[in-house]
Homo-oligomer: A and B are copies of this chain.
């Protein structure tokens, strides 16, 4: 039975952009598993696998269906214990939750402030209507007015990665000498920014950019396949 990763894309299906789905692309490659990626529009998610989940990633792994990126990583770790570990122990599993907390509360809001309109602009028409409606309800204002200072958000972005830079003084990856799922969590966020805006908006001499490039190189350049 095929392993299928349902992910998210805009009008161009060849450019999936969801941060949470990119985490799982690299997690599946880390486990050296064959899979088929099926990028969906937002408004198609509820139509696949009998409406199993309102969000992607959704992983069909044989007869098993799992949603939520962290739950999928835990599933892969449990189902494929003989493949390279995504966590390297219980401490790593627990602390990946802290890295997730950092990514969700520090990096994701900063990326939203840059990329909100970029995301809107690459969506298929039906998704644009959905995206506008749900985000305008969430923010209580027209989409165009939610983050009026995109240049300011770009200028503020590099500072959000200070924790990563400090860590990079000690080791090349969050996982140590080699990457683990915690790296893919932060990679997914920056890949989301790159695919939707064309840049990660970091200076050329930034050690955090070097780390991102190392992640792009992984698994035959899996992250570079969406330029």
What is the minimal beta-carbon distance from A178 to any residue of chain B, in angstroms?
9
What is the minimal beta-carbon distance from A169 to any residue of chain B, in angstroms?
8
Chain B CB within 10 Å, residue with most, of A85, A93, A95, A96:
A95
- Could you give, for residues 178-193 of chain A, a 1 whenever the CB lies within 8 Å of some chain B CB and a 0 otherwise? 0010100000000000
State whether the Cβ of A89 lies closer than 8 Å to any Cβ in chain B.
yes
**Known A-B contacts A106-B163, A162-B106; A95 and B101 likewise in contact (beta carbons under 8 Å):** no
Whether B94 pairs with A174 at a CB distance below 8 angstroms is yes
**Interface residue tally on A, bucketed by range:** 35 or more
Whether B162 pairs with A91 at a CB distance below 8 angstroms is no
Interface residues of A in 135-166 (CB under 8 A from B): 162-166
Nearest B-chain residue to A177, judged by Cβ = B94
Residue A95 contacts which of B96, B106, B165, B166 (CB distance < 8 angstroms)?
B96
Residue numbers in B under 8 Å from A99 (CB-CB)? 95, 98
A-to-B contact residues, CB < 8 Å = 70, 85, 87-102, 104-106, 162-167, 170-171, 173-177, 180, 182
